[in-house]
Amino acid sequence: MDYQNYVQILKAMADPNRLKIIDLLSCGSLCACDILEHFNFSQPTLSHHMKVLQNAGIVSARKDGKWQHYTLNEEFMTSFKKDTDLLLTSDDQCICHSDADCPNCSSGKVAITNEKN
């Protein structure tokens, strides 16, 4: 799996305020000023958070006159859940399979989830 992208997403989510923004957007699109009303921090701080969320591919923005409308990316929601499953599942893509000295691989502990081999 693509660690870099997944870590960037996790970092973007790992802030209580940005998490709240994601939660807000999960109800539907919102413009910056509507989001800002839910917080105590300044407008530039929100601007910064929205940029972090956009850079991580979590949120996309659409400009409409003076307003910026933010929407949760459908692709993020599906791929994040998929990557999480991939991470927490012992499968062929497990990192230890590329390591000949891995105790779990050599001891056969992974065999149960690797029956096709």
- Picking from 63, 59, 64, the residue whose alpha carbon sits closest to that of residue 24 is 59
User: Smallest gap, in angstroms, from Cβ of residue 27 to DNA?
Assistant: 17
Return the one option of DNA, its own copies, none that residue 79 interacts with (CB less than 5 to 8 A, by type). none
Say if CB 72 and CB 58 are below 8 A apart.
Answer: yes
Regarding 53 and contact with its own copies (CB under 8 A), the answer is no
Q: Please name the residue that has the structure tokens 């990316």.
A: 73
H or E stretch covering 52: helix 43-55
The CA distance from 87 to 52, in Å, is 23
Nearer to DNA, 8 or 114 (CB): 8
Binding site for its own copies (CB under 8 A): 3-4, 6-7, 10-11, 13-16, 19-20, 22-24, 26-30, 34, 37-38, 72, 77, 80-81, 84-85, 87-90, 94-97, 99, 101-105, 109-110
